[in-house]
Amino acid sequence: MVLGALTHSRFSLIDPLISDDTRATVDALLALGAEVHQDSKGLAIYCEKLRAAPGTIDARNSGTTLRLIAGIASLLPSTTTLTGDQSLVRRPMVPLVEALIQLGAKCSYLRTPGTAPVSITGPIDGNRAEIPAGVSSQFVSSLLIACTQKRGDTAVHLKGELRSRPYVDITLGMLRAFGARVEEVAGGFVVPGEQVLSGDSYSVPGDYSSAAFPLSAAAVTGGDVTVGNLDPNSPQGDKAILTHLKSFGAKVSPTASSVRVVGGQLRGTEIDVRHTPDLFPILAVIGAVADGKTVLRGGESLREKESDRIATTTSFLEAMGARVRPLTDGCEIVGGEKLHGATVTTEGDHRILMAAAVAALVSASETRIEDEDSYKVSYPGFMRDMHQLGCRLEVRK
């Protein structure tokens, strides 16, 4: 959506996910001067010129929206104020804001230092920015996109190891698809400025992050599930769910356009979630069902997601009878114990709701999840798809 708007020409986004997160992005682009219309194929986007937002832009629960739009706002010679919901305003913004300040933006935190709401006044025109690489890939992606549009070339220096590298690779691939040039060098990137992005359409591929839930449901229940529209050559980091399911002992059969998973005798394994932190909750559920010990490490950034995902994941699994121990960067689970129903609090986190629902499939009694719709943030078809696969889900007011 963002790159399509930056072509400043008529652009079609085919088969987009229409969810709470992407609606937040649509609303942000509308506020910044874009026209966005939905049709039978997807979204038609046109932005003749970026303009000052007439009011505060609310990214709601979408960290991606907040971070990407912060970079776009820094291109404007006006002040843009960005905020989000109760969860999002607790998530860090310092690395990106400091980088934008280094490039010449004026930024102010309006409530709590380091988090939204934040005001950003551009335009950025500096030639060097340094950004910690170990907090969130979204900061790096935002900076790379914005620097293709600013005046002058930019050297982006990364401090430390780049976390969630596959997401940055997706950004680089998307920029190349729109004709942009970004050179990767030792310690960072060089981004030529004032680049003209081009493209008239883009078809959104299937999402492995969402597919992980029905595929994992097959693994833990001994079921047989096929998910279509999944590209085996996709650069998405969460495609690693296929490797992880195999390592747990499930049968995984990818084709040119789908993936089939058949459950089997699951066994514990060790997984580094450093580059795929969104998979952590569902991997922990599989570990609780698998025989033996599962160790998930490398997820320090999980503490600063929509919830503290290490705490929320281990809490609901423990409530369901799993033997689980939280770690600073993940958890250890001794699996194989029969889970039982419990009352689960998700703290409004969509991935916790969906992971808990999968755990409930193999529990001996009813599970109540005190969150009726946060799944709509990223996977609005979750309830429909799980019903279709035979899961009994009931929404009680």
DSSP conformation letters of 123-164:
----SEEEEESSS-HHHHHHHHHHHTTSSS-EEEEEESPPTT
Model pLDDT for residues 347-396, shown as the tens digit of each residue: 999 999 999 999 999 999 999 999 989 999 999 999 999 999 999 888 88
Pair 23, 67: CB distance under 8 Å:
no
Nearest CA among 246, 250, 202, 244 for reference residue 225: 250
DSSP label of 371: -
d(Cα 114, Cα 124) in Å, to the nearest integer? 20
Examine the pLDDT at 266 and tell me if it is beyond 80. yes
Pair 222, 362: CB distance under 8 Å:
no
What is the torsional sign of CA 245, 247, 252, 255? positive
Which phi and psi (to 5°) does residue 139 adopt?
A: -65, -45
* Cβ count within 10 A of residue 78: 13
Pair 60, 84: CB distance under 8 Å:
yes
Model pLDDT for residues 37-83, shown as the tens digit of each residue: 998 889 999 999 999 999 999 999 999 999 999 999 999 999 999 99
What local confidence, expressed as pLDDT, does residue 133 receive? 87
Residues 265-294, mean pLDDT to the nearest whole number: 97
**Residues carrying an active site annotation:** 278
> Which ranges of 186-336 does DSSP label H, i.e. alpha helix?
208-221, 241-248, 280-289, 309-319
d(Cα 71, Cα 52) in Å, to the nearest integer? 14
- The beta strand positions in 263-361, using DSSP E, are 270-272, 292-297, 323-327, 330-335, 343-344
Look up tokens 């409004």; give the residue.
348
d(Cα 46, Cα 68) in Å, to the nearest integer? 18
d(Cα 159, Cα 200) in Å, to the nearest integer? 36
Model pLDDT for residues 250-264, shown as the tens digit of each residue: 999 999 999 999 999
Which phi and psi (to 5°) does residue 359 adopt?
A: -60, -35
d(Cα 272, Cα 277) in Å, to the nearest integer? 9
Residues 287-308, mean pLDDT to the nearest whole number: 95
Considering the entire predicted model, what is its pTM? 0.90
What local confidence, expressed as pLDDT, does residue 396 receive? 80
Higher pLDDT, 162 or 91: 91
Q: Map out the domains of the chain with their CATH numbers.
A: 2-203 (3.65.10.10), 208-388 (3.65.10.10)
What local confidence, expressed as pLDDT, does residue 39 receive? 87
Residues 275-282, mean pLDDT to the nearest whole number: 96
